[in-house]
Amino acid sequence: MDCFLSDAGAAVFWQALGAAGALIFYGRFYLQWYVSERRGRSVIPVAFWYLSGAGSLILLLYGVFYLKSPVGALSHCFNSVIYARNLVHIWREKGVLTRRLNWGFQGGVLLFVAVGTAMVAHVWLHRYQSQAGLPPREIARAWAWVAVGVAGQGLFALRFLIQWAATEARRKSVVPAVFWHISLAATLLLLASHLQQREWLYALGLLSTAPVYARNIYFTHRGRAPRTGD
């Protein structure tokens, strides 16, 4: 795409695309919040998982080709597997999951993850090479903040692994209460990392989700069990 645009045009394109991806990816939690307020309990609508996959794909491309952000790229590659598994269980529960759809969809997701892994490796190598010649203290400081982001992303991955395990155990898409507590802790770590690296779009998106996590924690503390697929 960049070869057909001027530098300024390419920047505008990627910024617009990133903003659209952020609106989809982070905005999904406001949809979830709206549905939960309507139901009076923590609910994950089916649309949440579709928006998760679409927004994550866009933000992966934004992080790789525009920001060249190690944390941003890592954050939006492997989570697609969990989004896909939730959709598979939802489709199965609704009786619309055929054998061809099951294998074709999950095969496509695995192909995406393989390509995404290569993209992530490229971004990390680029960051390493771009720091050649910098003072060791500055390099160590930069990678320390990347490590903070990786720790935050590790927590984000953990919350979905827990959610995935609960879903696989029940053969139905469910979200345990601890998901929201881990989400809030991970947000703070990732927010600090992105702010330090001046990756404002990621930081703003993460900040916007904190009230949603807090509200879901409130719902779960009221003793209302989280549900999904409504």
pLDDT tens, residue by residue, 197-222: 899 999 999 999 999 899 888 887 77
What pLDDT is recorded for position 146? 94
For range 30-53, the mean pLDDT = 90
Asked if residue 164 has pLDDT above 70, the reply is yes
- Interior angle at CA 133, CA 128 and CA 134, nearest 5: 80
pLDDT for the residue numbered 114: 94
pLDDT band at 120 (very low <50, low <70, confident <90, very high): very high
Q: In the beta sheet, which residues pair with residue 43?
A: 227
pLDDT reading at 177 higher than 70: yes
Which pLDDT belongs to residue 57?
A: 94
**Is residue 223 classed exposed, middle or buried when 0-12, 13-18 and 19+ CB atoms within 10 A define those classes?**
exposed
Domain boundaries defined on the chain: 2-228
What span, in angstroms and rounded, lies between the C-alpha atoms of 156 and 147? 14
The proportion of the chain whose per-residue pLDDT surpasses 70, expressed as a percent, equals: 94
DSSP string, 115-162: HHHHHHHHHHHHHHHHTTTS-HHHHHHHHHHHHHHHHHHHHHHHHHHH
If you ran DSSP here, which 8-state letter would residue 225 be given?
P
Task: Work out the average pLDDT over 117-121.
Answer: 94
Q: Check: CB of residue 185 under 8 Å from CB of residue 144.
A: no
pLDDT at position 225: 46
Q: Which of 13-27, 73-87, 109-123, 178-192 has the lowest mean pLDDT?
A: 73-87
The total number of residues written for the chain in this structure: 230
